[in-house]
Structure 1
């Protein structure tokens, strides 16, 4: 059964995150794009080679993320670099990502809760972040039609990569999983972030007033976790997550020129939160940062894959993507014109003031 719904609001971004426990161990993981953010921020900071080479060694690597993927069946490269980033809904007591990940903990043993494509455009001056709803009803290679987040549980990183490449026609160059718990320390390392809030809300004992709010790490965590009390629940919460990422980029860009020590503190915190595929070496990070040294936070476009409607497949609630508009979006990712796509499709772009 399929139920038609209007296109998502301008602040709508796909989400499926759930509230977790407040302590370090056992918090759920969230794809806050730190692999992409690391490259963006190091490029912005103007301290590329030193920071990247020294910090890159502290980032955990994921082995065999591209295992068994037939090179001949993959989409062609387009000159840019694309990261597939996920957060899982694991309830593991130990971290599943970052340098503190416990031996034997497999981040791919759970369904992915957040799926995002972060792309650095070929021109070195633009980037995009595209969210794919976790409940999107898609064809998973070898498994048939299912929710896209099931691909990670069925076959880990390799199957999710194949699924996303088949859906989008976009070649995935690198894969990352990010631990949500590191978000607090990252925000604190740069002295907090400033976010705009559409209306007064509260969550986890933190009050957010309408207008600009300066948030420390704990407050920012409450901000990105809020779902209840927002007009569109999970969709608004996902918009807040992207809004926080955007604010973090802006803050670090400012710190890069006024307080290099804070920039270094931020970058050294990344290893506590992120794991990336083992094909992304320290040298590769340096090269990416150099290639994108002219990138600024204002050059990053945030959008969500267009939704045609909601419905049910058996017992599952699912999201049906708009095939025509999705094809336009994926084409824009490949040719580096996501910002132009967002201008033409404002209902899919991140609002300046999400709920």
Structure 2
């Protein structure tokens, strides 16, 4: 059974929002003018170019890697892919999950999309998603599964509704896997939160998601909403240093600090209940003896236009 990871970049936006609230405008203060710097009045007036309109959205690929340490994830497959858009004016969040078995072009041939990272790292994963969705993407956030446990433990647990008794044992996993979570409203610690996200079916396959990975994807989206909602609480202000440490220990990203801080300013606008979530349209199927998630091209095009179609990178 493959490991399932969920990335918590949305939580990091909240963390940086809290961080910014402590530092204030000092982050953006200009450098002091040196004695040798000519005064503006001493220079010839220069016609200013009209400023280009700022892009008030950020779109990035969140990827969870099948590795214990994000720094040692070379050659591993992604187990979670979420294309995420945050509007920096409104705080609106849109997330489209991409099943890991989605068939698309990877390394010049048709393959499962989760193989892209194993071939060429984060850039190859971005290219595969671009090929699939017809978008021009620039940013990624990559995490290992440890971040789930660390963040959940840092905020004192996450309360969720567990849909059925989750029981699964795999002594050959590294580390050995033993899932034992009861149905109903439960406050999960880090270990159980990770297990909650990994579970697909029990050992004899009599209990689990009828729609397989699609059902597990819905659980991811539900968990993300609850994680963000339960992180944005006054009591977690006191846990800011631990959350920042967790972010830097478990996250690899090419998003600049300046852009993260810009995104952090939208943290207090986030309406978790209004978070838009969707899954790539399609269904499971076989080509030869290989099982894939086969996306519906027409429905995918409509969904991408609806959620991301007016986006263009800066």
TM-score for the superposition, normalised by structure 1: 0.67
CA displacement at 1:80 relative to structure 2: 1.6
Instruction: Check conservation: 1:82, 1:171, Cα contact below 8 A.
Output: no
Structure 2 residue matching 1:268: 3-state secondary structure? helix
Task: Name the residue aligned to 1:113.
Answer: 79
Is 1:252 the counterpart of 2:227 in the alignment?
A: no
Is 1:240 the counterpart of 2:224 in the alignment?
A: no
CA displacement at 1:291 relative to structure 2: 4.6
**1:249/1:272 Cα in 2 relative to 1: closer, same or farther (>3 Å)?**
same
Structure 2 residue matching 1:326: 3-state secondary structure? helix
Task: Name the residue aligned to 1:220.
Answer: 193
Looking at structure 1, the residues matched to 245 and 55 of structure 2 have their Cα atoms a distance apart, in angstroms, of 31
Q: After superposing the two structures, state which structure 1 stretch, 108-117 or 196-205, moved more.
A: 196-205
CA displacement at 1:336 relative to structure 2: 7.6
Larger relative contact order (Cα-Cα within 8 Å, sequence gap ≥ 6): 1
Deviations 1:3-30 (A, max 9, x none): xxxxxxxxxxxxxx724xxxxxxxxx72
Structure 2 residue matching 1:116: 3-state secondary structure? strand
Structure 2: which 5+ residue stretches go unaligned?
28-53, 169-177, 202-206
Instruction: Check conservation: 1:151, 1:163, Cα contact below 8 A.
Output: yes
**1:116/1:167 Cα in 2 relative to 1: closer, same or farther (>3 Å)?**
same
Task: Name the residue aligned to 2:208.
Answer: 230
Q: Which runs of 4+ in 1 moved over 6 A?
A: none
RMSD (Å) for aligned C-alpha atoms: 2.9
Task: Name the residue aligned to 1:290.
Answer: 265
Looking at structure 1, the residues matched to 295 and 142 of structure 2 have their Cα atoms a distance apart, in angstroms, of 24
Task: Name the residue aligned to 1:270.
Answer: 247
Instruction: Check conservation: 2:61, 2:141, Cα contact below 8 A.
Output: yes
Matches within 5 A, 1:132-143: 132-140=98-106, 143=108
Task: Name the residue aligned to 2:32.
Answer: none
Task: Name the residue aligned to 1:196.
Answer: 161
Is 1:156 the counterpart of 2:121 in the alignment?
A: yes
Task: Name the residue aligned to 2:290.
Answer: 316
Instruction: Check conservation: 2:10, 2:228, Cα contact below 8 A.
Output: no
Q: Aligned residue pairs: how many?
A: 269
**1:324/1:303 Cα in 2 relative to 1: closer, same or farther (>3 Å)?**
same
Looking at structure 2, the residues matched to 47 and 271 of structure 1 have their Cα atoms a distance apart, in angstroms, of 16
Q: Choose 1 or 2 for highest CA Rg.
A: 2
**1:259/1:114 Cα in 2 relative to 1: closer, same or farther (>3 Å)?**
closer
CA displacement at 1:179 relative to structure 2: 1.0
Looking at structure 1, the residues matched to 279 and 167 of structure 2 have their Cα atoms a distance apart, in angstroms, of 25
Q: After superposing the two structures, state which structure 1 stretch, 77-86 or 268-277, moved more.
A: 77-86
Is 1:144 the counterpart of 2:109 in the alignment?
A: yes
Structure 1: which 5+ residue stretches go unaligned?
1-16, 20-28, 55-76, 338-355
Instruction: Check conservation: 1:183, 1:217, Cα contact below 8 A.
Output: yes
